[in-house]
Structure 1
Amino acid sequence: MTPPATPSTAAISTAPTTPALRPHRIPADGLYEGPRVLRRTPDDWEDRPYERFEVVPQAATIGAEIHGLDLSRPLSEALRTELNRALLEWKVLFFRGQHLSSAAQREFAANWGELETNPLLAQGDSKDVVRFDKAAAGALTFENVWHTDVTFRERPALGAVLQLREVPPAGGDTMWADMAAAYDNLPSKIRTRINFARAVHDYLPGFARFYSEAQLAPFQAEFPPVEHPVVRRHPETGRRMLFVNASFTTRIVGLAEAESDRLLRMLFQQAHVPEFQVRWRWRAGDIAFWDNRATQHYAVNDYGAHRRLAERVAIAGDRPY
C-alpha cells in the first residue's frame, strides 16, 4: 500500500502560520478600557497613622469612613489638622449617624473657612444652608449628572458638608469621583494638550435643566461666565486635577466649537470610570464632607416617589490656578 504524500518543505514554509485579521479600530478619543493608574496621594506625601480617629477606606483612592468622632463637639486645632489631612488623602469623608442640627453642621463646616451662600438653590434654616427636599412632586435639582459644585463662580467652593435627614427605603446613593486619578489616566498627548488650556464655565446650562428662562435671567449679572484652567493644581497638595464638568463647562478657550465639544466630551467621560469612584449608601443622620476642588459627585435619583431630604453647607474657596 502506498503511504500518503508528505508536504514538501517549501510548501510548509510558505503557508501562513496565523490567519490575517480584518482592519479594526475603536473611535478616537473614547473612554479607555483597561488597567488604571491609581495613586491616592502625591508622590511626596508623608504617610502617617491617624491618632485621633479611625480611618476605614471605602475605595482605592477616594472615600473613607471616619470612626470615633462626635461632630457636634467643637474641634481642637490638632483634630481639625488631622481631619484636613484625611480629607486631602481621601477626598471625601463619611461620618455615620451624626444627626447634627443645622447650626452644628454650619459650625463644623466653618472650621474650614467662610461659608458660602447660593441664591439659586432652596434655603434651609439660614442663608448658608441649602435644602434638597425631593419627593414624587418635588422640584428637580442636581441629580443624575456628574458635576463639581459652583464652578461658575470665580472662586468655586473649597468643599461641602452634606447631611441626609430623611432617606428613602432604597436608593438615593451619592457617588464621588477622584479627578486627580482622572487626570493621571488620560493619554499623555491629551495631558500635554490640556495642561495650560482654559475653559469657560457658566451657571446657565446646569440650571436650565430644571429652571425656566424667567427664573434664570435675574442672575446673569451676578454670575457672568468665568474662565478656569482645564487642569488645576490643588492648593494644598500640588496635584494636578481635571477641572471641567458636564454641568457648567461650556467650551475650551481658543478651540473651534466642534473641536472643543469633542475634547470636552472625552474629558467629561473620565468621571464615569468605576476605579476612580466611591459610592455611599446613606442612612439618616449621615454626614459626607468632600473636597470640591478634587472631586465630582453624582446624586442617584432611583428612589421613585419616596422622599429624600438633605441639607448642604458649602465652604468658600479660592481662585483655581
Structure 2
Amino acid sequence: MSNPVLVNQIIPESDVVPLTGRVGAEIRGVRLGGDLSDAQVAAINQLLLKHKVIFFRDQGHLDDLEQESFARRLGDLVPHPTQGPAAGTASILNLDSSRGGGRADQWHTDVTFVDAYPKFSVLRGVVIPAAGGDTIWSNTHAAYESLPASLKALADNLWAIHSNAYDYAAVRPRATAEEKKHFEEVFTSTVYETEHPVVRVHPETGERSLLLGNFVQRLVGLSKSDSAKLYEVFQSYVTAPENTVRWRWKAGDVAIWDNRATQHYAVNDYGDQHRVVRRATVDGDVPVSIDGRRSITHVKAAKPKAKAA
C-alpha cells in the first residue's frame, strides 16, 4: 500500500478534488488502463481507501477488456455469482435499463448475500440519459461514527442475515414483467443466505463500518418486526445526506468504490431513456467482526428449473 507522500508525488493534490466533506473525490489527469505504473495503482488504491468512492471523467478509450485490464491491477476479478459475466470477459456485468436487472434503485452494497463479496467495483458509463440516472454513494464508516455511543455498542454485537431471495414485489412495486422474470429466473437462480456482522472491521484501514443494505432479511436472534425497526434506525445514518455524494454521469465516466465502506443507490428517475453502465468487480475478503469472528454462508442452493409446458 502507498502512503500519502507517495500519492502526492504520483497524483498531484490539485488533481484530487473532494466532492463532499465525508465521501467522494474526482481524480483528474489520469488515463485509466492496464498499463498504469505500480506507483499509480498504489496511489489510486490509497485515494480509494481515503475517499471511499473516486470518479474519473473522460475515460472513453476504455472498452470491456481494457476496463478489466485496469480493474485487474486492483486485485483478482470475480463474476457476479448468479448473473455471470458478459461474453469474453471475466467479470463484466452489463446493467442495461431496457433489460431485467438494469435498475438498482435500492440502497445496497454489491453482492453481500455471499461471504466474500467484492472488494472494489469499477463502473463505466456507456449510455447516459440526457437528464437523470445519477448514482448516490454513502460512506458507511462515517455512518458508524455518527452513531451515538449506545447505538454503536448495540450495533457492535449484532449480526444480520443477507440473502438475494427477498420480497421483490414489495421492494420494487413498479417493476416490469421482464424485471420480475429476471429476478426469479436469473438473479435468484441460486439462493444464498449469509450471516454478516452489522459492524465489520476494514482489513486495510482498521475502520469500522455498518454492513447493511437491502439484502438484509433479518437480524440474528430478533423477530422480523424488531429487525425491521432496528434496521431502519441504523440505515437512516447510512442514508443521511451528510454521509453521501451524488454523481451526475457522462458517457466515458468511471466510478470506483470500496464495497467494504460504502452503500450506493442508482436513482431511477429517467423514465424510458436508455441507460447502460458496465461493471467489473474485484474479489473481496470475508468480513470480520470487532471480536474477530468471520462471516459465514449458511445456504447456497440452486433453484430447480421450471419445467417446459
Residues 286, 218 of structure 1: CA spacing in aligned structure 2 closer, same or farther, 3 A cutoff? closer
Cα drift, residue 268 of structure 1: 2.0
AA aligned opposite 2:29: G
Point out 4+ residue stretches in structure 1 off by more than 6 angstroms.
none
Partner of 2:189: 219
Q: Distance in 1 between matches of 2:266 and 2:85?
A: 19
Give the counterpart of 1:157 among 77, 99, 118: 118
AA aligned opposite 1:50: N
The alignment status of 1:124 with 2:94, answered yes or no, reads no
1:160-208 CA deviation, whole Å, 9 max, x = no partner?
0000111111111111000011111112111101202211111112767
AA aligned opposite 2:115: E
Partner of 1:21: none
AA aligned opposite 1:215: E
Cα drift, residue 73 of structure 1: 5.1
Identity of aligned residues (%): 39
Q: Distance in 2 between matches of 1:97 and 1:266?
A: 39
Partner of 2:301: none
Consecutive unaligned residues in structure 1, runs of 5 or more: 1-45
CA RMSD of aligned residues (A): 2.2
Residue pair 2:79, 2:91 contacting (<8 A) in 1 also: yes
AA aligned opposite 1:280: W
Residue pair 1:94, 1:286 contacting (<8 A) in 2 also: yes
Q: Is the partner of 1:181 in helix, strand or coil? A: helix
Residues 276, 218 of structure 1: CA spacing in aligned structure 2 closer, same or farther, 3 A cutoff? closer
The alignment status of 1:296 with 2:263, answered yes or no, reads yes
Residue pair 2:140, 2:210 contacting (<8 A) in 1 also: yes
Residues 211, 147 of structure 1: CA spacing in aligned structure 2 closer, same or farther, 3 A cutoff? same
Larger Rg: 1
Consecutive unaligned residues in structure 2, runs of 5 or more: 173-178, 289-309
The alignment status of 1:194 with 2:155, answered yes or no, reads yes
Q: Is the partner of 1:116 in helix, strand or coil? A: coil
- How many pairs align? 272
Residues 150, 298 of structure 1: CA spacing in aligned structure 2 closer, same or farther, 3 A cutoff? same
Q: Distance in 1 between matches of 2:188 and 2:208?
A: 35
Cα drift, residue 215 of structure 1: 1.3
Give the counterpart of 1:133 among 67, 76, 96: 96
Residues 217, 288 of structure 1: CA spacing in aligned structure 2 closer, same or farther, 3 A cutoff? closer
Q: Is the partner of 1:211 in helix, strand or coil? A: helix
The alignment status of 1:111 with 2:69, answered yes or no, reads no
Residue pair 2:96, 2:103 contacting (<8 A) in 1 also: no
Q: Distance in 1 between matches of 2:235 and 2:222?
A: 17
TM-score, length-normalised on structure 1?
Answer: 0.79
Residue pair 2:82, 2:187 contacting (<8 A) in 1 also: no
Q: Is the partner of 2:144 in helix, strand or coil? A: helix
